[in-house]
Amino acid sequence: MKTFHDLIEDVQNPGLCHRCGGCVTFCTAVNYGALELDSDGKPRYGDEAKCIECGLCHSICPEIDELDEETKKRLAWSPPIGRVIETAVMRAADGEVRRRATDGGLPRPPPAQ
């Protein structure tokens, strides 16, 4: 089973980590301090002894494609970008948000009355 050590080797060391925080958020032992973010937002072991070596952090990392095929299958994905219900281009109005953000979701606008 792969662990956060493998994420360090496969993602962080090659400079592929974009600090989404997914590995920390979904860490099975995060409530026991296994993983944490450093002051720069980079995931790291908080208390390695608390890691139960479940492999979840490695599986869910977007830089690891382990779950891609299963996810596509479950969502009935089709090329080129999957099933699209609606598209929109949006931009945060707050310049400070734009400066600090990488990407992310915006709330879906309410349906037209």
Query: In this complex, which beta carbon is closest to ligand SF4, that of residue 21 or of residue 82?
Result: 21
Query: In this complex, which beta carbon is closest to ligand SF4, that of residue 53 or of residue 66?
Result: 53
State the residue for tokens 């993983």.
Answer: 35
Is residue 33 involved in binding ligand SF4 (CB under 6 A)?
no
Among the listed residues 56, 84, 94, 106, the single contact to ligand SF4 using CB under 6 A: 56
The window from 4-12, 65-73, 82-90, 92-100 that contacts ligand SF4 (CB under 6 A) reads: 4-12
Q: Rounded to the nearest 5 degrees, what angle is found at the Cα of 11, between the Cα atoms of 9 and 12?
A: 75
Is residue 34 involved in binding ligand SF4 (CB under 6 A)?
yes
Residue type, 113: Q
Residue 39 token pair: 């002051």
Is residue 46 involved in binding ligand SF4 (CB under 6 A)?
no
Among the listed residues 18, 67, 78, 92, the single contact to ligand SF4 using CB under 6 A: 18
- Which residues form the interface with ligand SF4 (CB under 6 A)? 3-4, 7, 11-12, 17-23, 27-29, 34-35, 43, 51-57, 61-63
